[in-house]
Structure 1
Amino acid sequence: MAPSAATEMQAKRLAAQAGIPVPRGTEHRTPDEAAAGAGALRPPLVLKAFGPGLVHKSDAGAVRLGLDGPERVRAAAEDMRGALEAQGLPPDGFLVEEQCPPGAEVIVGAVADPSFGPLLLVGLGGVWAEALDDTAVLPCPLEPGEAERMLSGLRGAVLLRGARGAPPVDAARLAAVVEAVGGPGGLAERLGDTLAAFELNPVIAGPDRAVAADARLLVAEGRPVPTGLPGPPAPAAGPPVPRTDFTRLSRPRGIAVVGASARGRGFGSMFLANYRSSGHRGSLVAVHPEADRVDGVPAVRSLAEAPPQTDYALVAVPAAACADAVRKAHGIPFVQVVGGGFAETGPEGAALEAELVAAARESGARLLGPNCMGVYSPAGGQTFLGGGPGTPGRVGLVAQSGGLAGEVVRVGERRGLGFSTAVTVGNAADVGPAELVRHLAADPDTGVLGLYLERPPDGRDLARALREVRGRLPVAVLVGGRTRLGGRAAASHTGAMAGDARVWEGLAARCGFALVRGQEELLAALEVFDLHAGRPAGGGADVLIVGPSGGAGVLAADAFDAAGAALPALGPGARAALHAAVPQAAPGNPLEIPLGPLGPKDLAHRAVLAVCGRPPYPDVVAHANVQSFAAFARPGEGVAHAEAVRGGLLEFVGHLAALQEEVAETRVSLVLRNTECGPPDLLDALRPAAREAGIPCFLSMETAAAAVRAAKAFAAARDDEQGAPSPER
């Protein structure tokens, strides 16, 4: 059963009750009644037919404009009825309205989303809504100023400000319409669970007006069309729900593994071996119906017999057997279910997942998963990875994919990152990302957070949690499967256009986190946060790029421009200072210096100090061409070629380290290009040296640009939350 549609007049009555201006109009059943109603309205008039199947009226020929009186309305209605009946779309009636004066057309809509609740969409309207695909999306309710920012951020916002001699629209009136739909206590919130989709398309805006010329409402399955707009929702009653203390999730005193085989096969046996090899210092037991020991580990018959200090149980049995195992976990605060076969597989799996959640409630345990790999915490003895634990650090990670989490952890550790806690949540049937964001934000051992998300079931609460940490915890978010919400596309432009990607883009602006596009960008953002988040450098767009000349500088400028950075030209004073410090430098931005194996390695250091005035550049990106060092290095007597290449580049990094110390209010980043041409162990020498100096190291300009964008996003959010003005160059 699909959502049902209100008539346009019904939708407009609700809009008017929300304070949205709509044209004067009347609704009628026959052409004669429509003509009679037209007599009370001021021409020019609009005639519209309504009825089942008339979703997109213009496409069906169910709209006539510019009618100058009752007789023209009657004739148009009779002609329209005949044409629609010939298409098999007989109308139920007609709407006659005063035609709005021309102006800029905007779409304002809301659509119910199963994860985020009502989503508000704003974009260019009318025929441009889908043709230009220029929209902004945010979860409701809007925060102060967001309506204006959504409108001004559209690519077509120039049309609203006045273009080619047209007057600008009344921005305040247009923003008020957006607020009336998606703001606190707005129409979307007041409709609540009744809402499937609502849209005003177009809202016609002019210098003294913003009027909803068309309105459409789809009500949720099984809900009646409301006759009036409900009042604003009441605040939640009662005390707040107590938060779970997740400390023992990452630092369990004891662990029990269900599903380890006496023959050493399967996930259970793998996890048991991982815990043994990781050096877990607490108690460790296997759960086995017959054996007394499994792989040298003491065994019990069920979780009901686990030692009292057991804080974490890992269940690795077939899906149908999981609920029974979890039901016996009384007194164990956290239970993880490894395997799949639940809601991700369809209705039967969803039923098993519901039973699993009920079993966890019955036992009093919080459930991690199902379909997840668990927890990694080097300091707490938690692991889902083979091999020894890495060095503990301050990077937290929450991921809906265990495989990807393992990659991020191991690759990150290879690059020098240390992790506090990494948690995989899989289907997130109980414990979801929102709770873990709040926990890690309060964790004194976590100072940086990365998220990998697909379709979080707690999206609305997650949005609130990310907003709560804005400007105080640097967060990078990688979202997989950012596809469109197409379920309501046939009946709603809003449903068709409110794509997942736009939701996350809007949330990134609201919450101040970095939205990244892939695993490499996620790792880069975590590294730049780990090394630079504590610096007082601001979030301004300016970047100074410095390195050897050639096409690499042009491509660097392209990469940073695409990332939203600005590369301001050097002023006369900076040019003079640069010429005095490094006469051979080309005074542009990118700033070109003859960096190579045969010349001095401190050119970048000297050049940046010469031009980095007050306020300093927020970001300096220095780059070196490893291929040039490898091709032209001249080893001295008794020095191997590889050692000469490493030595020259280490000297360059050493000068950057001194630079970073001298420009503490600037984030210095390093790009090593063409590392394939250097010695095999080159990065093993250069990366630790750069990290020791607090300088992140990247292998491409595109990755560096994404990392710098992430650093700027956090700095801007931090300064905004603290009320600190951004310095102007």
Structure 2
Amino acid sequence: MSVYEHEVYEYEVYEYEVKALLSEAGVPVPRGVVVDDLDFGPAGELAEPLVLKAFGPGLVHKSDAGAVVLGLRAADLPAAAAEMRSRLPDLAGFLVEEQAAAGVELIVGVVRDSAFGPVLLAGLGGVWTEALRDTALRLCPVSERDARRMLASLRGAPLLYGHRGTPPVDVDAVVKLLMAVGGPGGLWERLELGEFELNPVIAAPAGVMAVDARYLPAEPSRLPSEPSDLLVESSDLSAEPPDRAAYPASAGFLPLFEPKAVAVVGASATRPNFGNMFLDFYKAAGIPLVAVHPEADQVAGVRAVPSLAHADVDYALVAVPAERCPEVVRQAAGVPFVQVMSGGFGEAGRAELEGELVAAAQAAGTRLLGPNCMGVYCPRGRQTFVGGGMGPPGSVALISQSGGLAGEVIKVGERRGLAFSRVVTVGNAADVTPAELLRWLAHDPETAAVGLYLEDPRDGRELFEALRAADLPVVLLVGGRSGQGQEAAASHTGGMVSDRRIWETVAEQTGAALVSGQDDLIGVLAFFQAHGSRVTDGDGVLVVGPSGGASVLAADAFDLAGVRLDPLPGDALDDLRGLRVAASGNPLEVPVGPLGRAGLVPEVIDAIMRRRPYRDVVAHVNVQAFFTYGDAAEPLYAYARALAGAQDALPRTRVTLVTRNGECAPPGVEDEVRRIAAAAGIPVYRTMEAAAVAVAAGGRCGTA
């Protein structure tokens, strides 16, 4: 009986078959033979010690079932096999292999995420897999750089690179294995995932060996007898993405944000409703407007037409009961964009009605925004879905699956100085997706940074590619990240791939910033608005401000955000002493208060920056101190103006201001400080934690 030859059982992919695939792909596996008739004679050709493994229907976790025995001689095989069969009567056969030499045990796996597709996992394996859960993820295909960064990110990485006198393993061989599984042209493209796992892979100075292998196809099927026939064409792995180019408006979303005129469907001539509220918003914005009503000539003072077929507009807002929406949308021929505000579709378990709505939009040749969304906000185009007037046009864009959250980000963000270029809510994203909006915004001359709030990315792979291609800062806020991405996982790989980890991986691979709350989303966008286009010198972050305790907590905040505070340059210490500043480290304590000299901090910054350029300088101030000892608004303003002067003098450094305890100031004081700072391009935060998140998100963006 030759190596790896055996009758194939229906609905099962046995380990020897998987190893045949690995061998074809250039992944080293142990020499072995397959036995199904208890004739272990061929095993005499293998070098001892040997490993005996059983295989059969439903036998996924062999170790748990006692279906693996190590350290055997050839003479021991029949007795060990008989004992296994007595406990496991449904066995199909046995695999005998040469036992691999000791080394560092790794796990390498691929699992198909429901949103983003195949995901590669690598980490410490064997007995450490569940105990330490020390793994790294990347979306396939991975690059060699991805593979090396995965290994370097592991807590157990020192074991690979030599630890306490042990020689390093052949990391190049590990990288080659990762590329064979998850790289371009790798096995991930040709397997019907499912789950695919190598655990353990033994990494040693002389190379790697895939000791155990498991493959669970996505769909059970009768498997052919040739190992290569277990592979499928990559085009069969998933449905082709929709052909967005088939839509007339897909080449540009400008009419969505800056329509020549707007129609509102669903406003009442007798009883005010949501449609009437939007009529009021649009009237206040001053955009050309028409109402759609089957009987009235006007609604709330706005001219009315009987259907969208009579409306010469670029954008229509539909606010009628869900059941009526498809018929309304069918009449929208010639209208580039129709937004369905109404809910009651897929999110309410009515997928068929949502499909009917999409079909109606396609029949009319219009693009559908929503359903279940609030619409678009664009001061430049007089587009709005919020009351209270519009802020100034700016350079920050937002794509949100939640209309309520988008409204909060608009109003709170504008209160804190954000100015928006485009805001769009997509709701169920049944047609227009976050990915294609991001692709368009990445080339929009009015947009310099984009924020996204997502719950279901719809087409995760499309979004991933759009994020990778976006040549501007992007910040992600994702709802529901604590959920488990794989509801049922037979392998370790599937059990360790969660929604939260997938999004962290997406951010890592695309360079997007991932935040955990709305306040940080606004804060990071404020940082990008102020500093996104600034080209910087140097690296590192310098923190300066009063109070030793606050400085210690600042160091903790930046450490938690993953930002390293490098030591001060030693040759700056004499200059600092000349300024009567006792330099003790970074963060640097500098007296700032109502009785202090406003220009001291800029002089300190200059003394340090002349010796070493820092990418970011974070100056913090205790606002409470300015008002505990009298009304000291003017000294606080003077400090803000001095810091603004420092930013002007350092155009290749990003200055950030933290106004700790700002609520202790009288009304209007914080607003004036923000105004002074904003004029110099300095973002302002109330807490060191918020500033640390923003600075970390900025990363090396813009560094020369």
- Same fold by TM-score greater than 0.5: yes
Give, in angstroms, the shift of residue 341 of structure 1: 2.1
- Corresponding residue for residue 48 of structure 1: 53
Aligned partners of 1:196 and 1:615: how far apart in 2?
A: 52
Structure 1 residue aligned with 2:498: 499
Structure 1 residue 510 corresponds to structure 2 residue 509? yes
Aligned to 1:149: 149
Deviation by residue 1:158-177 (Cα, 9 ceiling, x = unmatched): 12112233221101100111
Contact (CA 8 Å) 2:143, 2:179: kept in 1 or not?
A: no
Distance apart, 1:588 and its partner CA: 1.9
Structural mapping, 1:151-190, within 5 Å: 151-190=151-190
Deviation per residue, 1:436-474 (Å, 9 max, x gap): 1111111111111111112201211111111112xx311
Describe the superposition over 1:490-509 as per-residue Cα deviations: whole angstroms up to 9, x where unpaired.
31221221222222222323
2:303 matches 1:305: no
Q: 1:222 to 1:252 in 2, by over 3 A?
A: farther
Is 1:65 aligned to 2:70, yes or no?
A: yes
1:596 to 586, 593, 597: 593
> Match of 1:509, as an amino acid?
E
* Alpha-carbon contact 1:513-1:714 (below 8 Å) kept: no
Contact 1:4 1:218 (C-alpha < 8 Å) held by counterparts: no
Task: For 2:401 and 2:440, locate their aligned partners in 1 and report how far apart those are by CA, in whole Å.
Answer: 17
The number of residues matched between the two structures is 685
Give 1:319's aligned amino acid: A
Q: Displacement of 1:706 after TM fit?
A: 0.7
Which letter maps to 1:74? P
Within a 5 Å distance, the mapping from 1:699-714 to structure 2 comes to: 699-714=686-701
Are 2:632 and 1:631 equivalent residues in the alignment? no
TM-score, reference length from structure 1: 0.90
TM-score by length of 2: 0.93
Residues 437-516 of structure 1: pairs in structure 2 closer than 5 A: 437-469=438-470, 472-487=471-486, 489-516=488-515
- SS of 1:510's partner is helix
Distance in 1 (CA, whole Å) between partners of 2:278 and 2:143 is 45
The answer on whether the counterparts of 1:47 and 1:97 sit within 8 Å (CA) in structure 2 is yes
- Is the contact between residue 198 and residue 216 of structure 1 (CA under 8 Å) also seen in structure 2? yes
- For the residues of structure 2 that align with 1:264 and 1:51, how far apart are their CA atoms? 70
Q: Distance in 2 between matches of 1:295 and 1:26?
A: 83
CA 1:660–1:22 in structure 2 vs 1: closer, same or farther (change >3 Å)?
Answer: same
Is structure 2 residue 317 aligned with structure 1 residue 314?
yes
Q: 2:295 aligns with which of 290, 302, 305?
A: 290
Counterpart of 2:256, as a letter, is: L
The reply to whether residue 679 of structure 1 matches residue 673 of structure 2 is: no
2: CA distance, partners of 1:146 / 1:11: 25
Q: Does 1:617 align with 2:617?
A: no
CA contact (8 A) 2:113 2:485 kept: no
User: CA contact under 8 A between 1:7 and 1:216: conserved in structure 2?
Assistant: yes
**SS of residue in 1 equivalent to 2:251:** coil
Distance between the aligned counterparts of 1:596 and 1:488, measured in 2? 56
Identical pairs, percent: 55
Bigger shift: 226-235 or 608-617? Answer: 226-235
CA distance in 2 between partners of 1:46 and 1:463 (Å): 42
Structure 1: distance between partners of 2:62 and 2:324: 54
Cα drift, residue 435 of structure 1: 0.8
Q: Does 1:533 align with 2:520?
A: no
State the distance in 2 between where 1:102 and 1:489 align.
Answer: 32
1:379 is aligned to 380
Distance 1:45 1:485 in 2: 39
Aligned AA (1:126): G
Distance 2:275 2:356 in 1: 22
Counterpart residue number, 1:695: 682
Compared CA separation, residues 394 and 141, structure 1 to 2 (3 A):
same
Give the equivalent residue in structure 2 for 1:400. Answer: 401
| Partner secondary structure for residue 672 of structure 2 | helix
1:8 equivalent in structure 2: 15
Is the partner of 2:184 in helix, strand or coil? coil
Q: 2:334 aligned with 1:331, yes or no?
A: yes
CA distance in 1, matches of 2:538, 2:32: 50
Q: Deviations over 1:168-200 (max 9, x none)?
A: 110110011110111011101122xx2221111
Q: Is 1:663 aligned to 2:667, yes or no?
A: no
Answer yes or no: is 1:568 the counterpart of 2:599. no
Listed as ranges, the matches of 1:56-135 within 5 Å are 56-69=61-74, 71-85=75-89, 90-135=90-135
Secondary structure at the counterpart of residue 257 of structure 1? strand
Q: For the structure 1 residues 224 and 399, does the alpha-carbon distance in structure 2 shift closer, same or farther, using more than 3 Å as the test?
A: farther
Q: Is the 8 A contact 2:536 2:654 kept in 1?
A: yes
- Could you tell me how far apart the structure 2 residues matched to 1:247 and 1:110 are? 40
**Matched residue SS, 2:208:** strand
Instruction: Decide whether the 8 Å contact of 2:538 with 2:614 is kept in 1.
Output: no
Letter in 2 for 1:425: V
Hey, what does 1:340 align to over in structure 2?
343
Structure 2: distance between partners of 1:49 and 1:538: 61
Moved more, 530-539 or 205-214: 530-539
Q: CA deviation at 1:510?
A: 2.3
Local SS of the residue matching 2:666: coil
How far did 1:250 drift?
A: 0.2
1:127 offset after TM fit, Å? 2.4
Q: Deviations over 1:8-43 (max 9, x none)?
A: 12222222222211112223335x13x234223222
Give 1:572 deviation, angstroms: 2.8
Cα deviation code 1:515-536 (max 9, x no counterpart) = 1121111111111111112222
Could you tell me which residue of structure 2 aligns to residue 365 of structure 1? 366
For residue 273 of structure 2, what is the aligned residue in structure 1?
266
- Give the aligned residue type for 2:119: L
1:398-454 CA distances to partner (integer Å, 9 max, x unpaired)?
Answer: 111111111111111111111010011111111111111111111111111111112
Unaligned 5+ residue runs, structure 1? 634-640, 725-729
Find runs of 4+ consecutive structure 1 residues off by over 6 angstroms: 234-237
**1:598/1:632 contact within 8 Å kept:** no
Q: Is the 8 A contact 1:181 1:187 kept in 2?
A: yes
Amino acid at match of 2:449: V
Give me the whole-angstrom Cα distance separating, in 2, the residues matched to 1:144 and 1:546.
40
Q: 1:195 is matched with which residue?
A: 193
Which of residues 244, 250, 253 in structure 2 aligns to 1:246?
A: 253
The structure-2 alpha-carbon separation of the partners of 1:276 and 1:450, relative to structure 1 and needing over 3 Å to count, comes to same
How far, CA to CA, are the matches of 1:488 and 1:6 in structure 2? 22
Contact 1:514 1:713 in 2 (8 A): no
Contact 1:621 1:671 in 2 (8 A): yes
* Equivalent position amino acid for 1:294 in 2: V
Q: Which one is further off, 261-270 or 178-187? A: 261-270
| CA distance in structure 2 between the aligned counterparts of 1:343 and 1:656, rounded to whole angstroms | 52
Q: Which amino acid in 2 is paired with 1:624?
A: V
Give the SS at the match of 1:59: coil
Do 2:659 and 2:685's aligned partners in 1 also have CA atoms closer than 8 Å? yes
The superposition leaves residues 141-163 of structure 1 with CA deviations (integer Å, 9 ceiling, x where unpaired) of 11341111111111211121122
Unaligned runs of 5+ in 2: 1-9
**How far did 1:614 drift?**
4.7
Deviation at 1:699?
Answer: 0.6
Q: Aligned-residue CA RMSD in angstroms?
A: 2.2
Post-superposition Cα deviations, 1:102-124, rounded to whole Å, max 9, x if no partner, equal: 11111111111232121111121
The amino acid that maps onto 1:139 is: L
Rounded Cα–Cα distance in structure 1 between residues aligned with 2:693 and 2:547: 22
Change (3 A) 1:388 1:245: same
SS at match of 1:61: coil
The answer as to whether partners of 1:623 and 1:673 remain within 8 angstroms in 2 is yes
CA contact (8 A) 2:54 2:62 kept: yes
For the 8 Å contact 1:537–1:667, the answer to whether it is kept is yes
